[in-house]
Protein backbone atom coordinates (compact mmCIF):
# COMPACT_ATOMS: atom_id res chain seq x y z
CA UNK A 1 0.00 0.00 0.00
CA UNK A 2 1.51 3.29 -1.10
CA UNK A 3 1.46 6.28 1.21
CA UNK A 4 -0.47 9.51 0.47
CA UNK A 5 1.17 12.71 -0.69
CA UNK A 6 2.58 14.56 2.30
CA UNK A 7 5.12 17.36 2.48
CA UNK A 8 7.77 14.85 3.52
CA UNK A 9 7.01 12.46 0.69
CA UNK A 10 6.86 15.35 -1.78
CA UNK A 11 10.30 16.46 -0.62
CA UNK A 12 11.66 12.92 -1.03
CA UNK A 13 10.32 12.83 -4.60
CA UNK A 14 11.55 16.30 -5.56
CA UNK A 15 15.00 16.47 -3.95
CA UNK A 16 16.75 13.75 -6.02
CA UNK A 17 15.88 15.28 -9.44
CA UNK A 18 17.05 18.66 -8.15
CA UNK A 19 20.35 17.21 -6.93
CA UNK A 20 20.86 15.27 -10.18
CA UNK A 21 20.26 18.47 -12.17
CA UNK A 22 22.85 20.16 -9.97
CA UNK A 23 25.24 17.32 -10.78
CA UNK A 24 24.92 18.12 -14.50
CA UNK A 25 25.49 21.84 -13.90
CA UNK A 26 28.53 21.20 -11.70
CA UNK A 27 29.92 18.80 -14.28
CA UNK A 28 29.66 21.61 -16.82
CA UNK A 29 31.38 24.06 -14.48
CA UNK A 30 34.50 21.91 -14.02
CA UNK A 31 35.16 21.04 -17.67
CA UNK A 32 38.30 23.22 -17.67
CA UNK A 33 39.48 22.11 -14.23
CA UNK A 34 39.66 18.32 -14.46
CA UNK A 35 39.33 15.63 -17.16
CA UNK A 36 35.80 14.16 -17.11
CA UNK A 37 36.67 10.51 -16.48
CA UNK A 38 39.14 11.48 -13.77
CA UNK A 39 36.45 13.64 -12.16
CA UNK A 40 34.15 10.62 -12.06
CA UNK A 41 36.88 8.50 -10.45
CA UNK A 42 37.59 11.11 -7.76
CA UNK A 43 33.89 11.44 -7.00
CA UNK A 44 33.32 7.76 -6.33
CA UNK A 45 36.55 7.20 -4.42
CA UNK A 46 35.41 9.95 -2.04
CA UNK A 47 31.91 8.42 -1.87
CA UNK A 48 33.45 5.09 -0.91
CA UNK A 49 35.35 6.76 1.93
CA UNK A 50 32.16 8.43 3.19
CA UNK A 51 30.31 5.11 3.12
CA UNK A 52 32.99 3.30 5.13
CA UNK A 53 31.52 4.10 8.59
CA UNK A 54 28.08 2.90 7.44
CA UNK A 55 28.97 -0.12 5.34
CA UNK A 56 32.65 -0.90 5.80
CA UNK A 57 31.75 -4.49 6.69
CA UNK A 58 31.00 -5.12 3.01
CA UNK A 59 34.77 -5.16 2.37
CA UNK A 60 35.42 -8.05 4.75
CA UNK A 61 36.89 -11.18 3.11
CA UNK A 62 33.77 -13.32 3.66
CA UNK A 63 31.31 -10.63 2.60
CA UNK A 64 28.78 -11.36 -0.16
CA UNK A 65 30.51 -8.69 -2.23
CA UNK A 66 33.16 -11.28 -3.08
CA UNK A 67 30.89 -14.33 -3.39
CA UNK A 68 28.53 -12.35 -5.67
CA UNK A 69 31.32 -10.42 -7.39
CA UNK A 70 29.96 -10.92 -10.91
CA UNK A 71 26.64 -9.26 -10.08
CA UNK A 72 27.99 -6.33 -8.10
CA UNK A 73 30.86 -5.91 -10.53
CA UNK A 74 28.43 -5.55 -13.45
CA UNK A 75 26.16 -3.19 -11.49
CA UNK A 76 29.15 -1.04 -10.54
CA UNK A 77 30.52 -1.01 -14.09
CA UNK A 78 27.21 0.11 -15.63
CA UNK A 79 26.32 2.77 -13.05
CA UNK A 80 29.49 4.11 -11.40
CA UNK A 81 31.97 3.22 -14.12
CA UNK A 82 30.06 3.96 -17.34
CA UNK A 83 26.95 6.06 -16.74
CA UNK A 84 28.59 8.76 -14.66
CA UNK A 85 31.79 8.89 -16.72
CA UNK A 86 29.83 9.23 -19.97
CA UNK A 87 27.65 11.93 -18.41
CA UNK A 88 30.66 14.06 -17.43
CA UNK A 89 32.20 13.40 -20.84
CA UNK A 90 28.96 14.55 -22.49
CA UNK A 91 29.04 17.82 -20.58
CA UNK A 92 32.26 18.82 -22.34
CA UNK A 93 30.34 19.42 -25.57
CA UNK A 94 26.69 19.54 -24.49
CA UNK A 95 24.68 21.61 -22.03
CA UNK A 96 23.14 20.41 -18.74
CA UNK A 97 19.66 20.93 -20.22
CA UNK A 98 20.44 18.77 -23.24
CA UNK A 99 22.10 16.10 -21.11
CA UNK A 100 19.16 15.77 -18.72
CA UNK A 101 16.63 15.83 -21.54
CA UNK A 102 18.46 13.14 -23.51
CA UNK A 103 18.62 11.07 -20.32
CA UNK A 104 14.82 11.24 -20.26
CA UNK A 105 14.80 8.82 -23.19
CA UNK A 106 15.03 6.13 -20.52
CA UNK A 107 11.57 4.61 -21.27
CA UNK A 108 12.66 3.72 -24.82
CA UNK A 109 15.80 1.97 -23.61
CA UNK A 110 13.97 0.31 -20.74
CA UNK A 111 11.42 -1.24 -23.11
CA UNK A 112 14.01 -2.30 -25.68
CA UNK A 113 16.40 -3.91 -23.18
CA UNK A 114 13.51 -5.48 -21.28
CA UNK A 115 12.19 -7.10 -24.46
CA UNK A 116 15.58 -8.23 -25.79
CA UNK A 117 17.25 -9.46 -22.60
CA UNK A 118 14.63 -9.98 -19.91
CA UNK A 119 11.59 -11.34 -21.77
CA UNK A 120 9.41 -8.34 -20.94
CA UNK A 121 6.47 -7.76 -23.29
CA UNK A 122 5.66 -4.08 -23.66
CA UNK A 123 2.04 -2.92 -23.57
CA UNK A 124 0.55 -0.52 -26.11
CA UNK A 125 0.54 2.22 -23.47
CA UNK A 126 4.22 1.68 -22.73
CA UNK A 127 5.08 1.80 -26.43
CA UNK A 128 3.13 5.03 -26.88
CA UNK A 129 4.91 6.56 -23.90
CA UNK A 130 8.30 5.53 -25.27
CA UNK A 131 7.49 7.04 -28.68
CA UNK A 132 6.47 10.35 -27.10
CA UNK A 133 9.64 10.43 -25.03
CA UNK A 134 11.79 9.59 -28.05
CA UNK A 135 10.22 12.38 -30.10
CA UNK A 136 11.18 14.73 -27.28
CA UNK A 137 14.76 13.48 -27.39
CA UNK A 138 14.89 13.91 -31.18
CA UNK A 139 13.77 17.52 -30.72
CA UNK A 140 16.73 18.06 -28.39
CA UNK A 141 19.20 16.35 -30.72
CA UNK A 142 17.99 18.39 -33.69
CA UNK A 143 17.80 21.65 -31.71
CA UNK A 144 14.22 21.97 -32.92
CA UNK A 145 15.22 21.78 -36.58
CA UNK A 146 14.20 18.49 -38.30
CA UNK A 147 16.61 19.23 -41.14
CA UNK A 148 19.50 18.64 -38.75
CA UNK A 149 18.35 15.06 -38.28
CA UNK A 150 18.60 14.44 -42.00
CA UNK A 151 22.18 15.72 -41.93
CA UNK A 152 23.02 13.71 -38.77
CA UNK A 153 24.65 16.76 -37.21
CA UNK A 154 24.53 15.75 -33.56
CA UNK A 155 26.62 17.17 -30.76
CA UNK A 156 29.03 14.52 -29.53
CA UNK A 157 27.91 15.03 -25.95
CA UNK A 158 24.31 14.15 -26.84
CA UNK A 159 25.47 10.84 -28.30
CA UNK A 160 27.59 10.11 -25.22
CA UNK A 161 24.50 10.71 -23.11
CA UNK A 162 22.48 8.27 -25.22
CA UNK A 163 25.10 5.61 -24.50
CA UNK A 164 25.01 6.52 -20.81
CA UNK A 165 21.22 6.20 -20.75
CA UNK A 166 21.38 2.77 -22.37
CA UNK A 167 23.87 1.67 -19.69
CA UNK A 168 21.58 2.97 -16.94
CA UNK A 169 18.56 1.18 -18.42
CA UNK A 170 20.46 -2.12 -18.40
CA UNK A 171 21.55 -1.41 -14.84
CA UNK A 172 17.94 -0.70 -13.82
CA UNK A 173 16.72 -4.01 -15.24
CA UNK A 174 19.46 -5.86 -13.40
CA UNK A 175 18.23 -4.29 -10.16
CA UNK A 176 14.94 -6.15 -10.59
CA UNK A 177 16.75 -9.48 -10.22
CA UNK A 178 16.63 -9.27 -6.44
CA UNK A 179 17.02 -13.04 -6.16
CA UNK A 180 20.67 -12.58 -7.20
CA UNK A 181 21.40 -10.35 -4.18
CA UNK A 182 22.57 -11.29 -0.72
CA UNK A 183 19.74 -10.39 1.73
CA UNK A 184 22.12 -8.67 4.16
CA UNK A 185 23.39 -6.35 1.44
CA UNK A 186 20.07 -5.78 -0.29
CA UNK A 187 18.34 -4.86 2.97
CA UNK A 188 20.86 -2.13 3.82
CA UNK A 189 20.89 0.84 1.42
CA UNK A 190 24.45 1.87 2.39
CA UNK A 191 25.76 -1.67 1.99
CA UNK A 192 24.00 -2.08 -1.34
CA UNK A 193 25.51 1.18 -2.59
CA UNK A 194 28.95 0.25 -1.26
CA UNK A 195 28.80 -3.14 -3.00
CA UNK A 196 28.37 -1.28 -6.30
CA UNK A 197 30.78 1.58 -5.59
CA UNK A 198 33.76 -0.67 -4.81
CA UNK A 199 33.95 -2.44 -8.22
CA UNK A 200 32.60 0.67 -9.97
CA UNK A 201 35.35 2.86 -8.55
CA UNK A 202 37.92 0.27 -9.62
CA UNK A 203 36.54 0.44 -13.18
CA UNK A 204 36.51 4.26 -13.00
CA UNK A 205 40.16 4.25 -11.93
CA UNK A 206 41.05 1.96 -14.83
CA UNK A 207 39.22 4.23 -17.29
CA UNK A 208 40.90 7.31 -15.81
CA UNK A 209 44.28 5.67 -16.28
CA UNK A 210 43.44 5.12 -19.94
CA UNK A 211 42.33 8.74 -20.22
CA UNK A 212 45.75 9.96 -19.04
CA UNK A 213 47.72 7.39 -21.04
CA UNK A 214 45.91 7.80 -24.35
CA UNK A 215 44.50 11.33 -24.40
CA UNK A 216 47.15 13.23 -22.41
CA UNK A 217 44.67 15.74 -20.92
CA UNK A 218 45.75 19.04 -19.34
CA UNK A 219 46.76 18.93 -15.66
CA UNK A 220 44.12 19.11 -12.94
CA UNK A 221 43.45 22.66 -11.71
CA UNK A 222 43.38 22.00 -7.97
CA UNK A 223 41.75 24.69 -5.87
CA UNK A 224 38.67 25.53 -3.84
CA UNK A 225 36.31 25.55 -6.85
CA UNK A 226 37.21 21.97 -7.79
CA UNK A 227 37.19 20.79 -4.17
CA UNK A 228 33.75 22.33 -3.63
CA UNK A 229 32.49 20.66 -6.81
CA UNK A 230 33.83 17.29 -5.67
CA UNK A 231 32.20 17.73 -2.27
CA UNK A 232 28.85 18.43 -3.89
CA UNK A 233 28.83 15.59 -6.44
CA UNK A 234 30.07 13.14 -3.79
CA UNK A 235 27.58 13.97 -1.05
CA UNK A 236 24.45 15.30 -2.76
CA UNK A 237 23.67 13.43 -6.02
CA UNK A 238 25.56 10.26 -5.08
CA UNK A 239 24.64 9.54 -1.46
CA UNK A 240 21.80 11.87 -0.38
CA UNK A 241 19.80 11.54 -3.61
CA UNK A 242 20.27 7.76 -3.65
CA UNK A 243 18.88 7.46 -0.12
CA UNK A 244 15.95 9.84 -0.72
CA UNK A 245 15.06 8.11 -3.98
CA UNK A 246 15.01 4.70 -2.35
CA UNK A 247 12.65 5.96 0.36
CA UNK A 248 10.44 7.71 -2.20
CA UNK A 249 10.08 4.60 -4.36
CA UNK A 250 9.26 2.44 -1.35
CA UNK A 251 6.64 4.89 -0.08
CA UNK A 252 5.01 6.14 -3.29
CA UNK A 253 5.79 3.40 -5.80
CA UNK A 254 8.02 3.45 -8.90
CA UNK A 255 5.32 4.83 -11.23
CA UNK A 256 4.83 8.03 -9.24
CA UNK A 257 8.55 8.36 -8.55
CA UNK A 258 9.35 7.92 -12.24
CA UNK A 259 7.22 10.92 -13.19
CA UNK A 260 9.00 13.10 -10.63
CA UNK A 261 12.36 11.86 -11.91
CA UNK A 262 11.74 13.72 -15.15
CA UNK A 263 11.80 17.03 -13.31
CA UNK A 264 15.59 16.97 -13.75
CA UNK A 265 15.51 18.75 -17.14
CA UNK A 266 13.33 21.51 -15.71
CA UNK A 267 15.64 21.98 -12.73
CA UNK A 268 18.66 21.84 -15.04
CA UNK A 269 17.20 24.63 -17.19
CA UNK A 270 16.60 26.82 -14.13
CA UNK A 271 20.05 26.16 -12.65
CA UNK A 272 21.80 26.60 -16.01
CA UNK A 273 20.14 29.97 -16.52
CA UNK A 274 20.95 31.12 -12.98
CA UNK A 275 24.52 29.79 -12.71
CA UNK A 276 25.86 29.30 -16.24
CA UNK A 277 23.87 31.94 -18.08
CA UNK A 278 22.73 29.28 -20.58
CA UNK A 279 19.12 30.22 -21.28
CA UNK A 280 16.77 27.45 -22.47
CA UNK A 281 15.11 27.63 -25.89
CA UNK A 282 11.55 26.99 -26.98
CA UNK A 283 12.45 23.54 -28.29
CA UNK A 284 13.63 22.58 -24.79
CA UNK A 285 10.13 23.32 -23.48
CA UNK A 286 8.50 21.29 -26.25
CA UNK A 287 10.86 18.39 -25.64
CA UNK A 288 10.24 18.46 -21.90
CA UNK A 289 6.46 18.44 -22.42
CA UNK A 290 6.67 15.41 -24.73
CA UNK A 291 8.96 13.50 -22.40
CA UNK A 292 6.73 14.11 -19.38
CA UNK A 293 3.68 13.15 -21.45
CA UNK A 294 5.40 9.91 -22.42
CA UNK A 295 6.20 9.07 -18.82
CA UNK A 296 2.66 9.93 -17.72
CA UNK A 297 1.12 7.70 -20.41
CA UNK A 298 3.47 4.84 -19.51
CA UNK A 299 2.83 5.11 -15.78
CA UNK A 300 -0.93 5.61 -15.83
CA UNK A 301 -2.85 2.69 -14.33
- Over residues 178-217, the pLDDT tens digits come to 787 888 888 888 999 999 999 999 999 999 999 999 888 9
How do the domains of the chain map onto residue ranges? 7-299
Q: CB-side exposure of 230: number of CA atoms within 13 Å? A: 23
Q: How far apart are CA 197 and CA 187, in angstroms?
A: 16
What 3-state DSSP class applies to 115?
helix
Greater confidence, 110 or 197? 197
Average pLDDT across the chain, whole number: 81
Checking if the pLDDT of 255 tops 80, the result is no
Choose among 194, 169, 170, 217: nearest CA to 37: 217
SS3 string of 228-294? HHHHHHHHHHHHHHHHHHHHHHHHHCHHHHHHHHCCHHHHHHHHHHHHHCCCCCHHHHHHHHHHHHH
On whether the CB atoms of residues 256 and 299 are closer than 8 A, the answer is: yes
Give this prediction's pTM. 0.81
CA dihedral 46, 52, 54, 58 (to 10 degrees): 120
Distance (Å, whole) CA 29 – CA 25 = 6
**DSSP 8-state code for residue 33:** T
pLDDT score of 36 more than 90:
yes
Amino acid sequence: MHQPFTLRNLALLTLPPLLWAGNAVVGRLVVDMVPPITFNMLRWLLAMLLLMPLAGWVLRPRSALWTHWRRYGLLGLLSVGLYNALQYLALHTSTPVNVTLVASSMPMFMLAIGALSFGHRATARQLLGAVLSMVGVLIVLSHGDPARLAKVQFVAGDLYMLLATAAWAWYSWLLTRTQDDDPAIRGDWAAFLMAQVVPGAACAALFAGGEWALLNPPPIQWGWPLLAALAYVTIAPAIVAYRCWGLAVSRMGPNVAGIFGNLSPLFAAILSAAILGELPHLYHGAAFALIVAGIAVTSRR
